[in-house]
Amino acid sequence: MAETRSKVEAIKGDSAYLRGTVAEELATEGPFTHDNYQLLKFHGIYQQDDRDVRKERARQGLDRDHICMVRVSIPGGTLTGDQYLVVDKLADTIGDGTLRITTRQGVQYHFVRKGELQPLLAALNDQLLTTFGACGDVVRNTMCCPAPLADPRKAELERWTAEVARRFRPRTQAYWQLWVDGERAVSAEADEEPLYGATYLPRKFKMGFASPGDNCIDAYTQDVGIIPTFDGEQVVAFTLLVGGGMGKSHNKPETFPRLADPLTTVAPAELMEVLEAIVATQRDNGDRANREHARMKYLVHDWGLPRFKAEVEARLGRALPEPEPFVLDAADDHLGWHPQGDGRWFYGVKVENGRIADRGDERVRAGVRAAVERFGLGVRFTPREDLILTDVADSDRDGVDALLADHGVVPPAQWVPVKRNSFSCVALPTCGLALTESERALPGVLDELTAELETLGLSDLDAHVRMTGCPNGCARPYTAEIGLVGRGKVNYDVHLGGEPVGVRLNTIFAENVPRDELVNVLRPVLVHYREHRGEDERFGDFCHRLGVDHLRAELGNETWNRRARAAR
């Protein structure tokens, strides 16, 4: 009996290595068809529509206002100053005049029109930047701690990050023919994908390198998290974690967030071969019938780690050693001033929810651009949607501070702790998967929470809050101390009990809570924390120690869960 495969698998297999009929549809007006919509993801493009006007346009009998999101793949989040200035300048004429930092250290343009796609991608290519593989069923943007330390160990990790990005980028020439060279009718006969094959992977695949002791990239949430071991300045081994991932679907318990498991520790010379064997294991065994069950985390969960490891070993033709112990005991936000180690400094800029924009007196986009131009700085994007200005001369520090202040950019030290530690996904009005608001809602929720914390005498609470507009988990809410996950319209699930280093999942405390009731639901927990916390005990650790079931029983918030279940 033939294996059942999803419609997307057929689209990929029939696409002539990601070409489909994209070229023909680029020459026409109107939106891309469904099949090409699926293929565009591999090119870093999501076709969307402006959901703020969807209902009104439907009332007028008009089609949706079709737009695109374009995501630039930036390994390790590292840009030269010249590259950043081009990325910034393109936002003047393409999209909505903003840039959006992603939680994988890339950057997105929103509200891009169909006719702007080819000029945008070609201009990025001229700066050695690409959107290829930023989305789609391939190994996506490779992450790395962004701190620009003049340290041989850090430089070595950045070299490995760039090498992984090169090694796992698709080989098809479709991207360059469609967007760069303009040879849109070129045959696919010469194409081959020795690793991916004609149907690529069952779903997206994510990898990232942590720095020693620093889990700022959330290694446990990756399909493969890579932890280095150094002897002096030389990396001598990599420990590989497998099977992490954040996404789930509401009311489908067979879908769930999962933290990765330590698989093995390998020598640097073995790393690429072992990574390819892991990817190939997922390629050949991941679920191609049900895309909600297609991530590698489900394969690892369903098989169990021993069977998964045995399959990887069979592909390698040798046994893999057990993983060696390692320590990830911090997750630095890299904000504020830090020495680079070469006499220069870097400065981490807090960017609210990753949106680089000029809004009123707070002109973050203009301020960053001016700093890069005036002082010749580089730029790096962080996994928390912030950015780092690099290579600041000691004599220029005061000048950078003054220039940013002139543009209304708030220094990290002036951010309320709970706001400094927060971030969100994009959600409405552009994301087609969003059930409710996230980026536009979180600031107001945090204002209410901040006022409540001040009333309770907890204004110094530095709990990590993450919000998403749906359960797919793009802002990694399931490891946060407070995770707010959209359910629909204005309602959210409240998750409690994660921690800042990213080594523990949280648990649902209250379901289907209206946005204007979120702080009311959190208030009794915060009071309980104030009265019963241990010395120096974090909010997430407190919730985990007591347990969500105990908190519900003690504080009466089972009411929200009964109400949510009755409404289903």
pLDDT at 558: 59
Is 204 in the active site?
yes
* Number of C-beta neighbours around residue 283 at 10 A: 20
354/356 Cα distance (integer angstroms)? 6
Catalytic residue among 19, 154, 203, 204: 204
* Number of C-beta neighbours around residue 72 at 10 A: 26
Does domain 1-136+172-194 sit in CATH 2.40.50.110?
Answer: no
Catalytic residue among 68, 135, 216, 425: 425
CA 308 and chain centroid, separation = 26
pLDDT at 559: 58
CATH number assigned to the domain covering 419-567: 3.30.413.10
pLDDT mean values, one per 10 residues, the chain (568 residues): 81 97 95 97 98 97 97 98 98 97 98 97 96 97 96 94 97 94 56 94 98 95 98 96 97 97 98 98 98 98 98 98 95 98 97 97 98 98 98 98 98 98 98 97 98 98 98 98 96 97 97 96 97 97 96 75 52
| DSSP of 461-482 | ----EEEESSTT-TT-GGGSSE
Task: Using the CB atoms, write b or e for 49-60: b if 16+ within 10 Å.
Answer: bbbeeeeeeeee
In three-state form (DSSP H/G/I as H, E/B as E, the rest C), the secondary structure along 32-83 is CCHHHHHHHHHHCEEEEECCCCHHHHHHCCCCCCEEEEEEEECHHHEECHHH
Catalytic residue among 68, 135, 431, 543: 431
482/459 Cα distance (integer angstroms)? 16
Q: Which tokens go with 478?
A: 């399931």
Catalytic residue among 100, 140, 297, 419: 140
For domain 139-169+201-332, give its CATH number from 3.40.50.1820, 3.30.450.20, 3.10.180.10, 3.30.413.10: 3.30.413.10
pTM summary value:
0.96
Catalytic residue among 12, 19, 41, 71: 71
382/215 Cα distance (integer angstroms)? 12
In the chain, the largest separation of any two C-alpha atoms, in whole Å, equals: 72
- Quick one: residue 182, left, alpha or beta (phi over 0 = left, psi -120 to 50 = alpha)? left
| DSSP of 530-552 | HHHPPTT--HHHHHHHH-HHHHH
Q: In what order do the strands lie in the sheet with 336-339?
A: 78-79, 378-381, 387-393, 344-349, 336-339
Catalytic residue among 144, 145, 216, 474: 474
CA neighbor of 418 nearest in space, from 474, 481, 364, 475: 481
pLDDT in tens, 133-173: 999 999 999 999 999 999 999 999 999 999 999 999 999 99
Does 429 sit behind a cis peptide bond, omega within 30 degrees of 0 on the bond before it?
yes
Q: Which tokens go with 273?
A: 């071969």
DSSP 3-state of 181? coil
2/328 Cα distance (integer angstroms)? 45
CA neighbor of 504 nearest in space, from 462, 547, 449, 553: 547
Is 71 in the active site?
yes
CA neighbor of 474 nearest in space, from 354, 299, 351, 335: 354
Catalytic residue among 470, 487, 515, 543: 470
Q: Which tokens go with 527?
A: 């009071």
Is 543 in the active site?
no
Q: Which tokens go with 77?
A: 């989040």
CA 126 and chain centroid, separation = 25
Q: How far apart are the first and last CA of the chain?
A: 38
Distances (CA, A) of 87 to 319, 384, 491: 46, 20, 35
Catalytic residue among 12, 100, 104, 206: 206
Q: Where are the domains of the chain?
A: 1-136+172-194, 139-169+201-332, 333-415, 419-567
Is 144 in the active site?
no
Is 474 in the active site?
yes
pLDDT at 20: 97
405/400 Cα distance (integer angstroms)? 8
CATH number assigned to the domain covering 333-415: 3.90.480.10
CA neighbor of 349 nearest in space, from 372, 373, 329: 372
Strands (E), 252-383: 261-266, 328-330, 336-339, 344-349, 355-356, 358-359, 362-363, 378-381
74/56 Cα distance (integer angstroms)? 37
Q: 419-567: same fold as 139-169+201-332?
A: yes
